[in-house]
Amino acid sequence: MSFVKNARLLAARGARLAQNRSYSDEMKLTFAAANKTFYDAAVVRQIDVPSFSGSFGILAKHVPTLAVLKPGVVQVVENDGKTLKFFVSSGSVTVNEDSSVQVLAEEAHNIEDIDANEARQLLAKYQSQLSSAGDEKAKAQAAIAVEVAEALVKAAE
Amino acid sequence: MKAWRDVGITYIQYSNIAARVVREALRIELRADAAKRNISIVKFTPWVNGKPVPRKKVERDSES
């Protein structure tokens, strides 16, 4: 009896929540970095972001989320189907209840602006720095640089 | 967790390194301009008795 009552209460609450949540069919993207603003509350179809908790795609009505960016490619599918790729160093991504999304990066560039040869050279440079690093901190810093360089090489291919 | 966490590197510091490496990998014509962002400038204005005393300028590498 009490189970049925509880279930009814929960169902009523769920329905109310669904009404109150102003999920929008449109997704507004704000994508900015210290160097440039790429999108300012622009309506887009889909966004794929690399994060420490895994890469994921965002569509309108995505559940509210906070995540930390890892070095990699952010892919934006605009409403006309055009797909653009950007490389982000790091930063954060916020998905709000109203389907607005903020991608804030420390450094972000169009993928065409990455020099593939330079990325490969940087990878080699930081790999040797990693193997010759003396203390643990220097080693960790070199390892971060290697991780970023690897992501750059992969993205620029 | 991440190895850098164990040696006391924060995400902000991680982010600084990552951003620097990205700037280094840009096309040559963009690199010089981007390198300017490797340095952050912080201006301090101490106030004593309701008056600002001459400004000090502190420059640091974004990694430190």
> Total structural domains in chain B?
1
CB-based contact, A35 to chain B, within 8 Å:
yes
* Interface predicted TM-score of the whole assembly (ipTM), two decimals: 0.80
Put simply, the answer to whether B8 touches A137 (Cβ < 8 Å) is: yes
Residue of B nearest to A52 (CA): B2
Instruction: Tell me the pTM.
Output: 0.79
Domain that holds residue B8: 3-61
For the domain made up of A22-112, the CATH class stated in words is: mainly beta
DSSP per position, chain A: -HHHHHHHHHHHHHHHHHHHS---SSEEEEEEESS-EEEEEEEEEEEEE-BTT--EEE-TTPPPEEEEE-SEEEEEEETTS-EEEEEE-SEEEEE-TTSEEEEEESSEEEGGGB-HHHHHHHHHHHHHHHHH--SHHHHHHHHHHHHHHHHHHHHH-
Using one digit for the tens of pLDDT, what is the confidence trace for A82-108? Answer: 999 999 999 999 999 999 999 999 999
Can you give the CATH number for the domain in which B49 is found? 1.10.1620
Using one digit for the tens of pLDDT, what is the confidence trace for A33-82? Answer: 999 999 999 999 999 999 999 999 999 999 999 999 999 999 999 999 99
